């Protein structure tokens, strides 16, 4: 039993002595001065009503009325009202981890359907019951490839999201793995550079389709060369694009990951989101997280169980398959509802609508003097434009005209300060696209 310690000077002194410091400040000596709070002079307490009103006023400062043409991994798709209505049912949102299958058949079946949908979408053989988000899912795929191959070198294509690449490097910063990055060539993966780097020490090649610049690629040839040297291929995908594009499974990819936000989840100011992962059956025991399976009970009735769950970090520590200690199952269920509502044909029509509206926007933006729409590679619903001025200046000016104009590439790529990614989803109307073009013309005349 931990003894009760009061806040008297003697008791505080005894506590500090026990932990081996002389004063309270020593407890915080690792925090840099500029990171410490300027003051603990907090305002007087407020009533519940006053706090709510204060928060409303603060929230009103957010520019929630902007028409978004920004992507970079997160997209403004329409979420049918039936999706939040169903996922808000108590049977779903009170569920946490289905340790006891006899008490969790509804949750387990919903996750089983989710896994089945991800397998159908990616043309892979097995999927887990979700991860945190697209970036950490890609990191988990890297670790999975290292476990499978027992190699320690990873090649990352320059078209992979710079946010995801930073996540991977952060997670592996204290691990003894080697990372090589290759440039993109005319918007696509540089075959020559990747081939030069693949060797018998390479665990995996990481690719993205469409890549961060919006370019669509067929990675089948890279997969073939990687497999010839015993190397795995990981591909991060934008799930909506798979309604039209060649699937990772058809390309021979070994592990597929992606951000599931576009599958029925609103933008929500940054989360919670959903990381999905799928792989070949032969690698299933190296996959992190849990896998829900279908079976029958003692009476022969259909039922669902946790077939595999690599959640042994509490007993195996650094030898664990993964240190994931939970997942965003509710978000996975929400995506399963969304996909079941659309169906196979509806999903294809959604993807086609995204492509058609983006192509219309590309044509109209390309008519603006001084603006070049990059056309060296095919695209889905996101594309790169070159502006006559710094893209960050344009983005800031477009906000005053009611548009989130795009993602300025100079933020992550040196020398690309005049480049911007523009994304168009099914929600963007013809009127909105033409208004965006008019506003962009005006901004470029005045900057």
Rounded Cα–Cα distance for residues 261 and 276 (Å): 10
Q: What is the 3-state secondary structure (H, E, C) of 365-430?
A: HCCCCCCEECCCCCECCEEEEECCCCHHHHHHHHHCCCEECCEEHHHCCCCCCCEEEEECCCCCCH
In this structure, which CATH number among 3.40.50.720, 3.40.640.10, 1.10.443.10, 2.120.10.60 belongs to the domain 82-340?
3.40.640.10
**Digit-coded pLDDT (tens) for 27-48:** 888 898 888 888 878 888 889 9
273, 264 in Cβ contact below 8 A? Answer: no
What's the DSSP call for residue 361? Answer: H
Rounded Cα–Cα distance for residues 140 and 163 (Å): 15
67-76+347-446 topology per CATH: 3.90.1150
**Helices and strands counted in the chain (H then E):** 14, 17
Residue 232 confidence (pLDDT): 98
Of 143, 123, 116, 164, residue with least CA distance to 287? 143
Structure tokens at 104: 């969790």
CATH 3.90.1150.10-classified regions of the chain: 67-76+347-446
CATH 3.40.640.10-classified regions of the chain: 82-340
Share of the chain above pLDDT 70, in %: 94
pTM of the complete model: 0.87
Q: pLDDT averaged over the chain?
A: 91
Provide φ and ψ at 135, rounded to 5°: -70, -50
Question: What would the mean pLDDT of 425-429 be, rounded to a whole number?
Answer: 98
Of 78, 60, 61, residue with least CA distance to 267? 78
**Digit-coded pLDDT (tens) for 320-361:** 777 666 667 889 999 999 999 999 999 999 999 999 999 999
One DSSP character per residue, 193-215 reads HHHHH--TTEEEEEEEES-TT-B
Question: What would the mean pLDDT of 434-438 be, rounded to a whole number?
Answer: 98
**Contacts of 82-88 spanning 24+ positions with Cβ under 8 A:** 82/337, 82/341, 83/264, 83/334, 83/337, 83/338, 83/341, 84/334, 86/337, 87/330, 87/333, 87/334, 87/337
């Amino acid at each position: 039993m931990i003894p009760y310690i009061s806040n008297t000077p003697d008791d505080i002194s005894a506590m500090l002595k026990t932990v081996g410091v002389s004063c309270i400040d020593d407890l915080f000596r690792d925090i840099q001065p500029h990171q410490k709070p300027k003051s603990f002079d907090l305002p007087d307490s407020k009533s519940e009503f006053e706090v709510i009103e204060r928060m409303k006023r603060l929230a009103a400062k957010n520019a929630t009325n902007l028409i978004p043409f920004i992507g970079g991994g997160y997209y403004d798709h329409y979420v049918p009202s039936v999706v939040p209505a169903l996922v808000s049912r108590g049977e779903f949102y009170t569920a946490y981890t289905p340790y006891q299958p006899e008490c969790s058949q509804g949750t387990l079946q919903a996750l089983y359907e989710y896994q089945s949908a991800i397998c159908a979408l990616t043309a892979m053989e097995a999927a887990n019951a979700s991860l945190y988000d697209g970036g950490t899912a890609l990191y988990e795929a890297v670790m999975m490839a290292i476990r499978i191959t027992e190699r320690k070198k990873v090649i990352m294509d320059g078209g992979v999201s710079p946010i995801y690449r930073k996540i991977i490097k952060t997670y592996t910063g204290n691990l003894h793995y080697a990372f090589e990055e290759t440039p993109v060539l005319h918007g696509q993966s540089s075959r020559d550079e990747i081939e030069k780097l693949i060797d018998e020490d390479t665990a995996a090649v990481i690719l993205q389709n469409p890549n961060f610049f919006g370019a669509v690629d067929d990675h089948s040839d890279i997969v073939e060369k990687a497999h010839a040297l015993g190397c795995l291929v990981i591909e991060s995908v934008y799930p909506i694009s798979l309604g039209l594009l060649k699937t990772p499974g058809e390309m021979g990819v070994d592990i597929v990951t992606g951000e599931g936000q576009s599958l029925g989840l609103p933008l929500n100011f940054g989360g919670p989101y959903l990381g999905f992962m799928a792989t070949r059956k032969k690698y299933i025991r190296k996959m992190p997280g849990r896998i829900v399976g279908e079976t029958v009970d003692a009476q022969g009735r259909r039922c669902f169980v946790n077939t595999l769950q690599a959640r042994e970090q509490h007993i195996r520590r650094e030898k664990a398959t993964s240190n994931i200690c939970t997942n965003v199952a509710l978000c996975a269920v929400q995506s399963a509802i969304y996909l079941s509502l659309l169906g196979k044909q509806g999903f294809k029509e959604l993807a086609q609508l995204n492509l058609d509206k983006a192509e219309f926007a590309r044509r109209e933006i390309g008519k603006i003097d001084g603006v070049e729409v990059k056309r060296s590679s095919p695209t889905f619903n996101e594309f790169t434009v070159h502006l006559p001025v710094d893209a960050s200046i344009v983005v800031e000016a477009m906000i005053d005209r009611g548009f989130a104009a795009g993602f300025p590439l100079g933020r992550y790529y040196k020398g690309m300060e005049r480049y911007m990614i523009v994304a168009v989803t099914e929600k963007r109307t013809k009127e909105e696209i033409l208004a965006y073009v008019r506003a962009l013309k005006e901004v470029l005349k005045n900057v």
